[in-house]
Amino acid sequence: MTGRKELVSRVKAVLADAGFTEKMWSSMARARESRRRAIEQYGIDVHRMKLENREVKLSSAADRKLVERFAEEARRNGAVVLLARTGAEVIDHVEKVARRANADVIIKVKSLTTEEIDFNHELERRGLRCIETDLGELIVQLAHERPIHLVAPAAHKSVQDIAEIVNRELDLGVQAEHGAILRGVREYLRPIFLSARIGVTGGNIGIAETGTVIIETNEGNGRLVSSAPDIHIVVIGKEKIVASWDQVPGLVTGHAISASGQRATVYVSAMTQRLPLAGRSDGREMHVIILDNGRSMMAEDPWYSDALNCIRCGACMNVCPTYGIVGGHVFGYIYPGPIGIPWTAEVHGIERATFSHLCVSCGLCKEVCPIDIDIPMMIAKVKQEEVQMKGQLRANWFFASSETLARIASLSAPVSNWLLRTTISRYVMEKVFGVDRRRSLPSFSRKRLRNLLTGERDGDGSAGRVVFFPDIYADYNDPELGAAAVRILRSLGYSVVLPNLKWSGMPYVSYGELKKAARVAEYNLRVLRPFLREGYHVVSTEPTAVYMLKGPYRKLAPGEDSELAAARSFTFFEFIEKSMDRLKLTPTLDTGGKVGFHIPCHDRGLTGGRQATRFLEKAGYSVSVVETGTCCGMAGTFGMKSGPIGYDLSMAVGERLFRLFRESGCTIAATESSVCSTQINEGTGIRVLHPLKLVNVG
Ligand code: SF4
Ligand code: SF4
Over the chain, what is the mean pLDDT?
A: 96
Q: Is residue 243 predicted with pLDDT exceeding 80?
A: yes
Tell me, yes or no, if the two domains 1-43+302-390 and 449-578 fold the same way. Answer: no
Q: Are strands 205-207 and 212-217 parallel, antiparallel or unpaired?
A: antiparallel
pTM (two decimals): 0.95
Distance CA 506, CA 523 (A): 14
- Confidence at residue 151, expressed as pLDDT on a 0 to 100 scale: 94
The domain made up of 45-132+196-291 is a member of CATH 3.40.50.10420:
yes
Atom of ligand 2 nearest to the CA of 313: 8
Mean pLDDT, residues 621-639: 96
Q: Which residues are registered as beta bridge partners of 268?
A: 216
pLDDT average, residue stretch 511-533: 98
Question: Is 199 within 8 Å of 106 (Cβ atoms)?
Answer: yes
Residue nearest to atom 3 of ligand 2 (CA): 369
Bridge partners (DSSP) of residue 201 are 234
Pure H helices in 412-513: 415-419, 423-433, 449-453, 479-491, 506-510
Domains in the chain: boundaries: 1-43+302-390, 45-132+196-291, 396-433, 449-578, 584-697
> Ligand 1 center to residue 506 CA distance, Å?
14
Which of 339, 364, 378 best tests ligand 2's pocket when mutated (most atoms within 8 Å of CB)? 339
**Does ligand 2 have an atom closer than 6 angstroms to the CB of 364?**
no
Please tell me if the CB atom of residue 313 comes closer than 6 angstroms to any atom of ligand 2. yes
Q: Tell me the average pLDDT across 112-129.
A: 96
- Ligand 2 centroid to 14 CA: how many Å? 25
Verify whether ligand 1 is closer than 6 Å to residue 362 (CB atom).
Answer: yes
Q: What is the pLDDT of residue 593?
A: 67
Q: Dmax over Cα atoms in the chain, in whole Å? A: 93
Residue at 60: amino acid letter: S
Neighbours of 219 (CB within 10 A): 20
- Work out whether strand 695-697 and strand 585-587 pair parallel, antiparallel, or are unpaired: antiparallel
3-state secondary structure at position 285 = strand
| Residue range 541-591, pLDDT digits in tens | 999 999 999 999 999 999 999 999 999 999 999 999 999 999 999 999 887
Q: What is the Cα–Cα distance from 131 to 250, expressed in whole angstroms?
A: 32
Q: Is the CB of 359 under 6 A from ligand 1?
A: yes
- Compute the distance between CA of residue 384 and CA of residue 365 in angstroms, rounded to an integer: 19
**CA distances to 296, 610, 612 from 621, in Å:** 56, 14, 12
Confidence of residue 273 (pLDDT cuts 50, 70, 90): confident
**pLDDT beyond 60 at 280:** no
What DSSP string runs through 151-187? S-TTTT--HHHHHHHHHHHH-----SSHHHHHHHHHH
Q: Please indicate whether residue 320, judged by its CB atom, sits closer than 6 Å to ligand 1.
A: yes
Residue 158 has pLDDT above 60, yes or no: yes
> Which residue from 435, 504, 512 is spatially nearest to 473, judged by alpha carbons?
504
Average pLDDT of the residues in 111-121: 95
pLDDT at residue 2 in the model: 63
CA–CA dist 551, 558 (Å, integer): 10
Percent of the chain exceeding pLDDT 90 equals 96
Q: What's the CA dihedral at 477, 483, 488, 490 to 10 degrees?
A: 140
In this structure, which topology does domain 584-697 adopt according to CATH?
A: Rossmann fold (3.40.50)
- Closest ligand to 314 CA? 2
The CATH architecture assigned to 1-43+302-390 reads: Orthogonal Bundle (1.10)
Strand pairing category for 464-468 and 537-540: parallel
Strands (E), 594-641: 594-598, 622-625
pLDDT over threshold 80, residue 592: no
| Residues paired with 290 in a beta bridge | 83, 236
DSSP of 315-376, one letter per residue? HHHHH-TTHHHH-TTTSBSSSBHHHHHHHHHHHT-GGG-GGGGG-----HHHHH-TT---HH
| Whole-angstrom distance, CA of residue 581 vs CA of residue 297 | 55
Return the C-alpha torsion angle 676, 682, 683, 684, nearest 10: 100
> Which atom of ligand 2 lies nearest, measured to the CA of 314?
5
How far apart (Å, rounded) are the C-alpha atoms in residues 597 and 668? 9
CB of residue 363 inside a 6 A radius of ligand 1: yes
Query: What's the CATH fold of domain 449-578?
Result: Glutathione S-transferase Yfyf (Class Pi); Chain A, domain 2 (1.20.1050)
Q: Is the CB of 382 under 6 A from ligand 1?
A: no
Is any atom of ligand 1 closer than 6 Å to the C-beta of 653?
no
Q: Is the CB–ligand 2 distance for residue 320 below 6 Å? A: no
Q: Give, to the nearest 10 degrees, the angle between helix 178-195 and helix 135-142.
A: 90
Amino acid 490 reads R
Ligand at minimal distance from the CA of 335 is 2
